[in-house]
Amino acid sequence: MAVRSDGNTEYEANEPTYEEKSEKLHAEIARQLEQDASRLVLTGRYFGTDEARIIAECDAVKSVKTLDLSDNQLADEALMSLFQSPNLEQLEDLNLSINFITETGVKQLAEAEGVTVTHLKRLSMEDNRLKDPAAVALVNSPHFGELEELNLGWNEVADSTAEALGAGGKMPRLKTLILERNYITEAGVRTLLAGTVLDGLEELNLASNKLMGEGAAALATLKSLPNLKILWLTNNAIDDAGAKAIGESTHFPNLEKLYMGRNYFGQEGGDAVYYTKTLTGLKTLVLTEGVETNPDFVNYSRPELLRPDYEEE
């Protein structure tokens, strides 16, 4: 800190130089890769464009298959630096959740030439405030054909994204699709089911959307999902009719985990799922959450499924 002669205080910048950032980050990369050459975790570091460029230009990361950069300050330029890096061609798992990536950056990436990161199996873009135009561009991009897991949760995507997923056919290997906390409605469910993207899906997370009873019924009746093992429908304003459709569905023959807490159904809907005769493979069933504050719903959980060692008193 410096003090001016007129009595006003001047604050010197504490921002390290690019060279200082590079030296520090290279040391951290070396430390982590010495322990596991395939994994690099750099979460919550306030990293921005400079750090993304340093990582992208670092020869040492050529062995990294898992890169976690969640909870930073990465924006569009950083996104392009990473995806066009000659040192990250082998990357399989990339976590960019909770950053500052925008629609502009995602669109630029989706259409860009010279992209080297084309073998991703898992990509998380959770909580970047992305809307439909960005998500649609990503889903339709040729760069993500090997994805097995896509996380677009906690954004602002809606039915256009669901439609693009259903119609696109660009992600044939997808096994896990996370769309939690978005704005997908019954119409989105119908278009999502219209294509083949869900055919091999093992986990579908539609928690905290706007499905309502009609959306749940559409999901339960329109198309068989023989590989689906985990289904999240928490907090979707699903009524008795929607819950009953799920409980009577024959389209989830291998479902093992079902989450339907914080919905609107009562005893009729709860009983339809609890006493299901079609979802015979269930190992975990959650029909309410927060039962300690709502004792009327205690009976709609199955503790013997939630806790395998549960013994009724």
142-183 confidence digits (pLDDT tens):
999 999 999 999 999 999 999 999 997 799 999 999 999 999
The topology (CATH level 3) of 38-306 is 3.80.10
The structure tokens listed for 146 are 């090997």
Q: Where are the domains of the chain?
A: 38-306
* Cα–Cα–Cα angle for 240, 203, 262, rounded to 5 degrees: 35
pLDDT the model gives residue 6: 55
Give percent above pLDDT 90 in the chain.
86
> pLDDT digit string (tens) for 259-307?
999 999 999 999 999 999 999 999 999 998 764 434 343 333 344 433 3
Using the predicted structure, report yes or no on whether residue 31 has a pLDDT greater than 50.
yes
Assign 7 a pLDDT band (cuts: 50, 70, 90): low
The SS3 assignment for 142 reads helix
pLDDT the model gives residue 289: 78
Using the predicted structure, report yes or no on whether residue 309 has a pLDDT greater than 50.
no
- Strand blocks (E) in 88-165: 93-95, 122-124, 149-151
For 120, residues 6+ apart whose C-beta sits below 8 A from its C-beta are 91, 92, 93, 94, 144, 146, 147
